Amino acid sequence: MVRKKLIKNISVLLIMVAGIYSCEKSDSKNIDTNKQVNTENIDIFLNDWHKAASKANYSDYFSKMDSISVFIGTDATENWSKNQFQKFSKPYFDDGKAWDFKTLERHIYTSKSGDFIWFDELLDTWMGVCRGSGVIEMVDGKLKIKHYVLSLTVPNDVIDEVIKINSNFLPQRLNKLMPLN
């Protein structure tokens, strides 16, 4: 019994270690030229996604998101499925006034298989400098955003002021959140 449990634990550990080592930062040395995904393609894809929002092009913007994607906004209550995010965003796109994010810096990483990509980016936005991060998957030969998180950046020297402001709103925000199971 103990031996079976030990073998099971070792097997799980080996799978986890193999998974960790299968992911590497992308650079020109490890891009598989047989794959359709490389960092230039991903950079263009993400720039086009942001450009679609700046031009209020609803269909182009949301076509880059997978049907089961998640968008997490800057407010603690903004953890949206694609459908929820579409409903929230539609009035902005319809008014021709979505958002205009300009990339300042981006880091792109890919799995060895090229099927999974993750990235982080600094963005110039109407809110100031924000950080975006996300996961992209190659689905049927097309890049699809699976998960995106938009966060405000806060300079360390003013964090105490931001904490004070947030603490005034925190109880109201937490009441809107669904309890964790």
Instruction: For residue range 39-85, list pLDDT tens digits in order.
Output: 899 999 999 999 999 999 999 999 999 999 999 999 888 999 999 99
Beta bridge partners of 102: 124
Query: pLDDT (tens digit, 9 = 90+) per residue, 137-159?
Result: 998 889 999 999 999 999 999 99
Q: 73 in a domain, yes or no?
A: yes
Q: What is the pLDDT of residue 77?
A: 86
Average pLDDT, the chain: 82
Q: 179 in a domain, yes or no?
A: no
Can you give the CATH number for the domain in which 98 is found? 3.10.450.50
Q: 124 in a domain, yes or no?
A: yes
Q: What is the pLDDT of residue 5?
A: 41
Half-sphere exposure of 9 (CA within 13 A, CB side): 6
Q: What is the pLDDT of residue 114?
A: 87
Give the number of domains in the chain: 1
| pLDDT > 80? residue 25 | no
Q: 140 in a domain, yes or no?
A: yes
Q: 167 in a domain, yes or no?
A: no
Q: 21 in a domain, yes or no?
A: no
Q: 168 in a domain, yes or no?
A: no
Half-sphere exposure of 26 (CA within 13 A, CB side): 25
Residue 180's identity, in one-letter code, is L
- Per-residue pLDDT band for 179 (boundaries 50, 70, 90) equals low
Cα 59 to the chain's mean position, in Å? 19
Tell me how far apart the alpha carbons of residues 89 and 74 are, in angstroms, rounded to a whole number: 14
Q: What is the pLDDT of residue 172?
A: 66
Q: Containing domain of residue 52, as a range?
A: 34-154
Q: 11 in a domain, yes or no?
A: no
Tell me how far apart the alpha carbons of residues 91 and 113 are, in angstroms, rounded to a whole number: 39
